[in-house]
Chain A
Amino acid sequence: DAGITQSPRYKITETGRQVTLMCHQTWSHSYMFWYRQDLGHGLRLIYYSAAADITDKGEVPDGYVVSRSKTENFPLTLESATRSQTSVYFCASSVFGRSSGTGELFFGEGSRLTVL
């Protein structure tokens, strides 16, 4: 029962480098999300995806790129990392229906990224 896994769990990089955070889920959930959480603050939505090849911006998408070529994977790329992108990144997945009452989000354990 793997669920939703993120990698790497910890990453240190330098300003200007490209970084990719991976997210993989085994439930075939249609929806996937990326959030960032800065120290002492709540979660902010970066990008989300309703299905393979369908992605949309959240609250804070600038500086990030996502793709969803397969249902189970939703990588997040920082094309040129900046110090302000130092944060904990959480991936989540869910099954949503427009008219259904379900929609529990399942979160990964987080990826802690430090940009020097």
Chain B
Amino acid sequence: DAKTTQPNSMESNEEEPVHLPCNHSTISGTDYIHWYRQLPSQGPEYVIHGLTSNVNNRMASLAIAEDRKSSTLILHRATLRDAAVYYCILRVTNNAGNMLTFGGGTRLMVKP
């Protein structure tokens, strides 16, 4: 099964950029890279996803390595509301369909 590896926690200062790394060395060619975040006492929410090219949306940017074995979620200006657990997961397509398996995630702490 494709797995992801993330640091357990990271700290950032408010209004500074944050780069959250993720390793997925066993990724296959058809696996999409997804990022979700979970605020305290809430269900996870979608942040961004990509396959090969870098992606931008209003929440964040996703930079994908050329060999696809790693990716980085970029929050351009961290706010206190960005303090959450960020999950990097792979959308695996198999005979049964599509499956997303979460890892431990990175707890992001934002200091004012």
Contact = CB atoms under 8 A, between A and B. Distances in A.
B42 A33 contact: no
B2 to A, nearest CB: 13
Contacts of B85: 42
Contacts of A56: 96-97, 99
Interface in B80-112: 85, 87, 91, 93, 96-105
Interface string A90-113: 101010101001011111111000
B44 A96 contact: no
B97 A103 contact: no
A31 B98 contact: yes
B75 interface: no
Interface stretch (A13-21, A44-52, A65-73, A74-82): A44-52
A107 B45 contact: yes
A103 B99 contact: no
B43 interface: yes
B34 A103 contact: yes
Contacts of B34: 103, 105
A54 interface: yes
Question: Which label, helix, strand, loop or mixed, suits the secondary structure of the B interface?
Answer: strand
Q: Which of A42, A45, A58, A59 has the most CB of B within 10 A?
A: A42
Interface string B26-47: 0000001010100000111110
B44 A107 contact: yes
B68 interface: no
B100 A33 contact: yes
Given A98-B93, A101-B32, A108-B43, A58 B99 contact: yes
Contacts of A90: 43-44
Contacts of A33: 100
A96 B98 contact: yes
Interface of B: 32, 34, 36, 42-46, 49-51, 85, 87, 91, 93, 96-105
Among all A-B residue pairs, the 4 with the closest Cβ atoms: A107-B43, A50-B97, A56-B96, A43-B102
